[in-house]
A and B are shown apart, each in its own frame.
Chain A
Amino acid sequence: MNYTPADLWFIILALGLGTFLIRFSFLGILGDRQLPPWLLRHLRYTAVGILPAMVTPLILWPEATGGQLDPVRIIAAALALGVGLWTKNAIWAIVAGMATLWGLGFIVP
């Protein structure tokens, strides 16, 4: 990470203010009015649209291995996904993924 303290605080404050304005938008400013259905439909997919893109390079070319495919990380990610789909519980998915990473990393050095 290569930022000045001023850069870091700019990021923190801008993200804090921006997030507040998103949360305040309809409650505080726009009031009780209906969102057009097409916009609601798109907003429903923001998290599930952005987070997988965020994850993909971290799994396929992780920095910790110098960008090389790492079977241990791929298996750990697959198990976390499987457990998350099966249990619908984020905490169990994290436990499964990290336990796999540490367990396999111990066996396959």
Chain B
Amino acid sequence: MSASSPRTAYLRGLRTALPFVIVVAPFGLLFGVVGTEAGLNIAQVMGFTVLVIAGASQFTALQLMADNAPTLIVVASALAVNLRMAMYSASLAPHLGSAPIWQRALIAYMNVDQTYALGHADYEARPDQSTAEKVAFFFGTATPIIPVWVGATALGIMVGEAIPPALGLDFAVPITFIALIAPALRTLAHVAAALTSVVMAITLAFLPWNLWLLAAGLAAMIVGAEVERRMEARR
């Protein structure tokens, strides 16, 4: 391989990620709109978007804040939504573990659903790449995704200040969650986890401080994992 191959990998990452800008932008835009309508100021909305970069957990925090849940419950519940990213981190570690620490820190910061999925798929498809090429590919995917996410949120703040609150935008949050869940219901185990989650949310609704959310999430994870284990045992 020539010395220019990290450059090639960077450009390949950039090209691969470009179409996904269309997926990322609407969520960023929506967070800007809904965050502004909920009463956050510009710095706070942008703070979420720049520091967290995880739409589902940001919407979770926003929804719990609309219910005036205690701050620690807001943080714990929104973090619980992001726990799946520990799995992303673990699955990238064999590929990127030997990169310098600052590169790994930067990759961790930008390790969102899209960059992770594209990076992991590329490393599996081209296993003989050097670590430098793999790092370059990841930075390539992040180059369009992260700025578009941040820019779309900023645009959403402007839109949110312009539109009247009577448009039923409170319902955009549950619709967004449904839109994120539906394509993820790929297996019986995923469906079982989702159903458990719904049933637990209804039966535990009496719990204070939105604790039903964490309880339902935990129960659903256990059910999903157990169904998966049994399905595999049967094979």
Q: Which of B40, B47, B181, B212 sits near A84, CB closer than 8 Å?
A: B181
Interface bits A58-93 vs B (CB < 8 Å: 1, else 0): 111011100000000100110011011101111101
Given known A1-B66, A43-B86, A51-B56, contact A64–B97 (CB-CB < 8 A): no
Q: Which of A35, A59, A62, A85 sits near B90, CB closer than 8 Å?
A: A35
In the complex, the number of residue pairs spanning A and B with C-beta atoms less than 8 Å apart equals 294
Interface bits B166-179 vs A (CB < 8 Å: 1, else 0): 01101111111111
Pair B198/A48 contact, Cβ less than 8 Å: no
Interface bits B181-223 vs A (CB < 8 Å: 1, else 0): 1111100011001111110111001000000110011111111
Q: Which of B52, B82, B104, B220 sits near A48, CB closer than 8 Å?
A: B220
- Taking CB atoms and an 8 Å cut-off, the chain A residues in 7-37 that contact chain B are 7-20, 22-28, 30-33, 35
Quick check: is B57 within 8 A (CB to CB) of the other chain? yes
Pair B52/A42 contact, Cβ less than 8 Å: no
Determine the distance from Cα of A25 to Cα of B217 in the docked complex, in whole angstroms.
21
Interface hub of A8, A73, A101 (most chain B Cβ within 10 A):
A8
Given known A15-B52, A23-B111, contact A50–B63 (CB-CB < 8 A): no
Interface residues on A, range: 35 or more
Determine the distance from Cα of A11 to Cα of B72 in the docked complex, in whole angstroms.
8
Q: Which of A9, A52, A54 sits near B63, CB closer than 8 Å?
A: A54
Interface bits B45-66 vs A (CB < 8 Å: 1, else 0): 0011001111011101101011
Q: Chain A residues near B71 (CB, 8 Å)? A: 3, 7, 10-11
Q: How many B residues face the partner with a CB closer than 8 A?
A: 96
Q: Chain A residues near B220 (CB, 8 Å)? A: 45, 48-50, 52-53
Determine the distance from Cα of A98 to Cα of B88 in the docked complex, in whole angstroms.
31
Determine the distance from Cα of A77 to Cα of B181 in the docked complex, in whole angstroms.
12
Q: Chain B residues near A20 (CB, 8 Å)? A: 108-109
The stretch among B142-150, B152-160, B224-232 that forms the contact with chain A is: B224-232
Given known A13-B51, A23-B108, A53-B198, contact A45–B221 (CB-CB < 8 A): yes
Pair B84/A46 contact, Cβ less than 8 Å: yes
By beta carbon, the residue of chain A nearest B25 is A91
Determine the distance from Cα of A3 to Cα of B81 in the docked complex, in whole angstroms.
22
Given known A7-B71, A26-B93, contact A50–B81 (CB-CB < 8 A): yes
In the assembled complex, 27 residue pairs joining A and B whose CB atoms fall closer than 8 Å, in A order, are A7-B71, A13-B51, A15-B75, A19-B51, A19-B53, A19-B54, A23-B109, A24-B105, A24-B108, A27-B92, A42-B221, A43-B86, A43-B221, A44-B87, A45-B193, A46-B217, A48-B220, A48-B224, A49-B194, A50-B220, A53-B212, A58-B63, A84-B183, A87-B183, A90-B23, A90-B180, A101-B168
Known pairs A1-B39, A90-B180; list 10 more (Cβ under 8 Å).
Answer: A9-B44, A11-B61, A22-B86, A25-B90, A41-B228, A53-B198, A59-B174, A64-B170, A76-B171, A77-B174
B residues in contact (CB < 8 Å) with A = 22-23, 26, 30, 38-40, 44, 47-48, 51-54, 56-58, 60-61, 63, 65-66, 68, 71, 74-75, 77-90, 92-94, 96-97, 101, 104-105, 107-109, 111, 167-168, 170-185, 189-190, 193-198, 200-202, 205, 212-213, 216-225, 228-229
